[in-house]
């Protein structure tokens, strides 16, 4: 058996960020920017009002209060997207809507809530007068040009991960596309003669293929593009042909099953014949066997078949590698120290154990308790868990002990 860190280092030594491409900003969520993005124009592009109300000159309202409001004629209405027909003169007000440009001559906005309409005009708002019940400081509710970003500002440096707000900023600086490291296309196969797809009835000896849907969604959750490549029989030639075809169209491949010591574990055999394969017995439980290889620059993760093992192996090997291919620096899950609220027992076997736990954040920090059965076939406990407690070789944790937990969500 080789230590986990050594196996991870072997994988990480052969993956690198994918080439840079230009993608529409709407398709860039989770990708990593590979250029310097600057704001060509000021944002906002012009001074505008933050409130619905009236554009005024602050001096005109200096004496206004509840008892003696100041009354001004309303000489125009400025909607968002429009501009005032003429400058505001002394002793005038213009009705103005949030986002509309501040008229020349105005230096403040009084919000509509501090005003009353004194005299509605006969036709619509003609001849309207507004009664202002408060004084306002100069600049009141005015958002200045360049308040958010001055023209020429560097907005994003290469290496920035794109979250929804980044997409908003890219749109606000007028970007339609952005240069990023390409999102990896990751093909996922299941292997096994016993596997049934979908809701078809189970014949004796058959089970349902749960790994493929689970791994496809783990790929998507990692930020990569999942490609469903179906189920392969335990047949040397079928697996050989499928892997050869898939490396052409995918940036990485994930398979499950067929990498252990069984007579029909062909994935391992095919991979060793095809490429530069390392078959590892990693000192972890679950997920001891891992076949990792590179074929024509395409990393291939031959994960074990047991459903929990394939998921844990994906977490420890494939997910960090896929994120490296995306150029992300946050390749690891978040780890926290937590108090074990109950014993998390294990046996001494030379391996690091990953136990499915429910982790909760309380006033004194993180706490964990077991999420259920810890067999590598017991997938329900993985669904109940939101973390994996990392238990070094030994007897596990007693209630009250501190343990490290890898948070899965």
User: Would you tell me the crossing angle of helices 266-274 and 236-249 to the nearest 10 degrees?
Assistant: 50
Instruction: Report the residue from 257, 286, 304, 387 that binds Mg ion according to the rule CB under 5 A.
Output: 257
Minimum CB separation from Mg ion for residue 258, in Å? 5
**In the chain, helix, strand, coil percent, each to 5?**
20, 35, 45
What does 304 interact with, of Mg ion, ligand AMP, none (CB < 5 to 8 A by kind)? ligand AMP
- The residues, any chain, with a CB within 8 Å of residue 76's CB and separated by 6 or more, are 84, 85, 86, 94, 95, 103
- The residues, any chain, with a CB within 8 Å of residue 354's CB and separated by 6 or more, are 284, 285, 286, 287, 312, 316, 388, 389, 390, 391, 406
The structure tokens listed for 85 are 């027909």
CA angle 375-272-262, nearest 5°?
Answer: 40
| CA-based radius of gyration for the chain | 31
Minimum CB separation from Mg ion for residue 262, in Å? 7
Q: Give the C-alpha distances (Å, rounded to integers) separating 397 from 209, 337, 340, 349, 387.
A: 34, 13, 7, 15, 16
What does 107 interact with, of Mg ion, ligand AMP, none (CB < 5 to 8 A by kind)? none
What residues line the site for ligand AMP (CB under 6 A)? 190, 192, 194-195, 207, 209-212, 256-258, 260, 262, 265, 304-307
What does 209 interact with, of ligand AMP, Mg ion, none (CB < 5 to 8 A by kind)? ligand AMP
Residue 255 to residue 8: CA distance in whole angstroms: 17
What string marks each residue from 176 to 215 as x (binds Mg ion by CB under 5 A) or -? ----------------x-----------------------
What string marks each residue from 138 to 177 as x (binds Mg ion by CB under 5 A) or -? ----------------------------------------
Q: Please give the DSSP secondary-structure letter assigned to residue 87.
A: P
Cβ nearer to ligand AMP, comparing 307 with 387: 307
Residue 89 to residue 67: CA distance in whole angstroms: 25
Cβ nearer to ligand AMP, comparing 247 with 259: 259
Minimum CB separation from ligand AMP for residue 378, in Å? 12
Q: Please give the DSSP secondary-structure letter assigned to residue 375.
A: S
CA angle 41-43-45, nearest 5°?
Answer: 75
Cβ nearer to ligand AMP, comparing 192 with 327: 192
Cβ nearer to Mg ion, comparing 207 with 399: 207
Minimum CB separation from ligand AMP for residue 145, in Å? 58
What does 195 interact with, of Mg ion, ligand AMP, none (CB < 5 to 8 A by kind)? ligand AMP
Residue (of 116, 302, 301) closest to 224 by Cα position: 301
Range 293-332, binding Mg ion (CB under 5 A): 305
Cβ nearer to ligand AMP, comparing 310 with 352: 310
Q: Which residues bind Mg ion (CB under 5 A)?
A: 192, 257-258, 305
């Amino acid at each position: 058996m080789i230590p986990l860190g050594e196996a991870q280092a072997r994988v990480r030594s052969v993956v690198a960020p994918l080439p840079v491409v230009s993608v529409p900003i709407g398709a860039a969520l989770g990708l990593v920017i590979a250029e310097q993005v600057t704001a060509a124009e000021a944002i906002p592009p012009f001074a505008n009002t933050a409130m619905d109300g009236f554009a005024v000159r602050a001096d005109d309202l200096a004496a206004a209060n509840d008892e003696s409001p100041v009354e001004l004629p309303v000489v125009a209405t400025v909607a968002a997207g429009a501009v005032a027909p003429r400058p505001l003169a002394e002793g005038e007000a213009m009705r103005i809507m949030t986002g509309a440009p501040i008229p020349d001559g105005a230096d403040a906005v009084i919000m509509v809530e501090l005003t009353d309409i004194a005299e509605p005009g006969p036709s619509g708002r003609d001849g309207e007068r507004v009664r202002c019940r408060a004084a306002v400081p100069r600049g009141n509710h005015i958002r200045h040009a360049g308040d958010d970003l001055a023209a020429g500002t560097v907005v994003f440096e290469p290496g920035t991960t794109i979250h929804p707000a980044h997409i908003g900023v890219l749109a606000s600086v007028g970007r339609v596309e952005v240069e990023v490291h390409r999102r990896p296309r990751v093909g996922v196969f299941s292997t096994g003669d016993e596997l049934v797809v979908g809701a078809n009835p189970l014949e004796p000896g058959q089970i349902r293929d749960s790994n493929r849907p689970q791994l496809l969604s783990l790929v998507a959750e990692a930020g990569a593009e999942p490609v469903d490549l179906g189920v392969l029989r335990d047949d040397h030639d079928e697996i050989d042909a499928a892997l050869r075809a898939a490396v052409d169209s995918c940036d990485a491949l994930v398979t499950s099953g067929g990498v252990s010591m069984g007579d029909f574990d062909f994935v391992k055999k095919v991979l060793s014949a095809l490429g530069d394969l390392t078959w590892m017995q990693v000192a972890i439980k679950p997920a001891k066997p891992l076949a990792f290889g590179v074929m024509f620059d395409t990393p291939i993760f031959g994960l074990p078949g047991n459903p929990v093992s394939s998921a844990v192996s994906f977490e420890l090997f494939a997910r960090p590698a896929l994120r490296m291919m995306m150029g992300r620096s946050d390749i690891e899950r978040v780890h926290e120290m937590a108090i074990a609220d109950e014993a998390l027992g294990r046996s001494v076997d030379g391996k690091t154990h990953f136990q499915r736990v429910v982790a909760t954040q309380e006033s004194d920090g993180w706490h964990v308790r077991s999420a259920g059965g810890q067999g590598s076939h017991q997938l329900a406990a993985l669904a109940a868990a939101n973390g994996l407690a990392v238990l070094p070789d030994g007897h596990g944790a007693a209630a009250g002990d501190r343990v490290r937990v890898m948070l899965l969500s």
